[in-house]
Amino acid sequence: MKRKNYAGIDFFRFFAALLVIAIHTAPLSFWNNDLDFLLTYCFGRIAVPFFLMTTGYFVLAPHVLNGFGKKETMHRYLIKNTGLYLAATAFYFPLMLYSHNLPHSIAEFLKSLLFDGTFYHLWYFPAAVIGCNLILFFAARSMKSAVIFSAAAYITGLLGDSCYGLVKDLPIISDLYDGIFQISSYTRNGIFFTPVFLLLGVFIAIPGLCCSKKACIRGICISLPLLFLEGFLTYSAKLQKHNSMYFFLLPVMYFLFQLLLTIPGKAPAWLRNCSMLIYIIHPAVIVLLRGIAKTANLTSLLVDNTLMHYFCVCLLSVAIVTGIRFLLERRSVYVSKRTRLD
């Protein structure tokens, strides 16, 4: 797929990274837990599926739709994603050591490495790799196989996530989920969660499966309120084991992603990389801010006030990422000059 200017996608990457920070800071819980749940743990759940769909659209689609050619982009993505995961794991290792959060057995190590993430937000990286490989495995047989697997996996995951209360006491089925939760703490992982969104990204790359801009707007206007309703009902009925997977998240993402593709213009290139860096470093920033607040005796303002806490984490994360980019660019210029002189 020829790379065009995707301003809507690139700007939304940054917004999605800020939504992930909201999920880990619950910004409105200081005032109202129900409102915070609706905005953070319903609407905010569009962030990770969006990142997965960008991978499906820009990485998987060119590979799958060209008869599994163009392997270089696919291989480069898998290598880069794995490298980022290992680098982020090394970055968070001192914090894991300090908090006594290291695995106590080989089984625990494999569980965290492959499914839960070596740090709580890093689950995304192995999930994306596993999901990509599963889509490639089934799509190599037929696209129908990929669709059936992804749909069945997502429904299975949904029943172990926001609708867990419906099945947790059922004979045999409850034993099945008990077994799943021995391997992975949540069904939000590379087997149950990521394949369907990766595949949605692939399908949107097929012109015949796209909707008009007007249809996308109508689709969002219908499916987004239904997502809020689904989330609130499963939350208020105490059905949720977790709150990452909703049925109406699928149509919301299908229409939203297409709508973002229609936005013309060119976003700054740095947005694509900054969003991932913000995603990686923001938990460390949360820890840093808590330490600063405690030292300065400002915990009530910078931590207990969750909205202020959220804004401070966002600002600090963006500032640190901007500083990192500045240093990397200066180093690149320096190396380039030295190379020319040599």
Q: What is the dihedral of CA 290, 292, 293, 294, to 10 degrees?
A: 80
**What whole-number percentage of the chain has pLDDT above 70?**
96
Contact 146, 138 (CB under 8 A): yes
Query: When comparing pLDDT for 264 and 16, which is higher?
Result: 16
pTM exceeding 0.75: yes
**What whole-number percentage of the chain has pLDDT above 90?**
85
Helix orientation angle between 270-295 and 71-98, rounded to the nearest 10 degrees: 0
Query: What pLDDT is recorded for position 327?
Result: 86
Q: Which of 85, 150, 73, 135 is nearest to 115 (CA)?
A: 85
Instruction: Report the SS3 class of residue 263.
Output: coil
Cα 67 to Cα 63: distance, rounded to the nearest angstrom: 7
Q: Is the pLDDT of residue 229 over 60?
A: yes
Model pLDDT for residues 240-288, shown as the tens digit of each residue: 999 999 999 999 999 999 999 999 888 887 787 799 999 999 999 999 9
Could you report how far apart the first and last alpha carbons of the chain are, in Å?
A: 39
Q: Is the pLDDT of residue 16 over 70?
A: yes
Burial label for 88, CB within 10 Å (0-12, 13-18, 19+), is buried
Cα 123 to Cα 251: distance, rounded to the nearest angstrom: 24
- 321 pLDDT band (50/70/90 cuts)? very high
Cα 246 to Cα 250: distance, rounded to the nearest angstrom: 8
Cα 342 to Cα 338: distance, rounded to the nearest angstrom: 6
Contact 54, 256 (CB under 8 A): no
Residue at token pair 């749909």: 151
Tally the residues of the chain. 342
Q: Is the pLDDT of residue 314 over 90?
A: yes
- 2 pLDDT band (50/70/90 cuts)? very low
Q: Average pLDDT of the chain?
A: 93
Cα 243 to Cα 231: distance, rounded to the nearest angstrom: 8
Residue at token pair 């239904």: 226
Instruction: Tell me how many degrees the CA angle 212-216-219 measures, rounded to the nearest 5.
Output: 135
Model pLDDT for residues 126-159, shown as the tens digit of each residue: 999 999 999 999 999 999 999 999 999 999 999 9
Cα 205 to Cα 20: distance, rounded to the nearest angstrom: 26
Query: What pLDDT is recorded for position 70?
Result: 72
Model pLDDT for residues 173-193, shown as the tens digit of each residue: 999 999 999 999 999 999 999
- 1 pLDDT band (50/70/90 cuts)? very low
Query: What pLDDT is recorded for position 69?
Result: 76
Query: What pLDDT is recorded for position 183?
Result: 96
**φ and ψ at 151, to 5 degrees?**
-65, -45
Cα 294 to Cα 316: distance, rounded to the nearest angstrom: 16
Q: Is the pLDDT of residue 116 over 70?
A: yes
Model pLDDT for residues 30-73, shown as the tens digit of each residue: 999 999 999 999 999 999 999 999 999 999 999 998 888 778 88
Q: Is the pLDDT of residue 86 over 60?
A: yes
Instruction: Tell me how many degrees the CA angle 36-181-93 measures, rounded to the nearest 5.
Output: 75
